[in-house]
Amino acid sequence: MSEIDLKEIGKRIQARRKQQGFTQEQIAELMNVSVQMISNLERGNKSIRIENLINLCKILNVSTDYILIGSRDSAEAHEGDKRLSRLSDKEKELIEMIIDFCASE
């Protein structure tokens, strides 16, 4: 069994928080915890209690799987597919070019 990587969990929490437009202060207030706790989570200095993880995931609209291990669940993948389907053919072509560029060695 692999060791839990708190720093990677913290990076995913921070990235999702910023993606959703929240500050650490706002998340702390919504979770009824200290800003220091959020800061410690994001830096990978502390682990998160299960009830806080569930609450945080609801606030950030993300799965616990994503926060803990970095995998997207089917609902998130489906949402991504829906967003892609709204793009024009030209925009889809550009996205494919970006993916190809990023995935090239």
Does 56 lie in the same domain as 91? no
CATH of the domain at 44: 1.10.260.40
Does 61 lie in the same domain as 43? yes
CB-CB contact of 62 with 16 (8 Å) = yes
For residue 43, the surrounding DSSP H or E stretch is: helix 35-43
Please state the pTM of the whole predicted model. Answer: 0.67
Residue 50's pLDDT is 94
Using CB atoms within 10 A of its CB, is residue 99 exposed (0-12), middle (13-18) or buried (19+)?
A: exposed
> What's the domain range around 21?
1-71
Domain count, the chain: 2
Residue 87 gets the label, from left (phi > 0), alpha (psi -120 to 50) or beta, of beta
Average pLDDT along the chain: 87
Cβ neighbours of residue 34 closer than 8 Å, sequence gap 6 or more: 28
Does 62 lie in the same domain as 14? yes
Per-residue pLDDT, averaged over 38-53, amounts to 95
* pLDDT tens string 59-105: 998 889 889 988 766 556 667 777 788 889 998 888 888 888 887 75
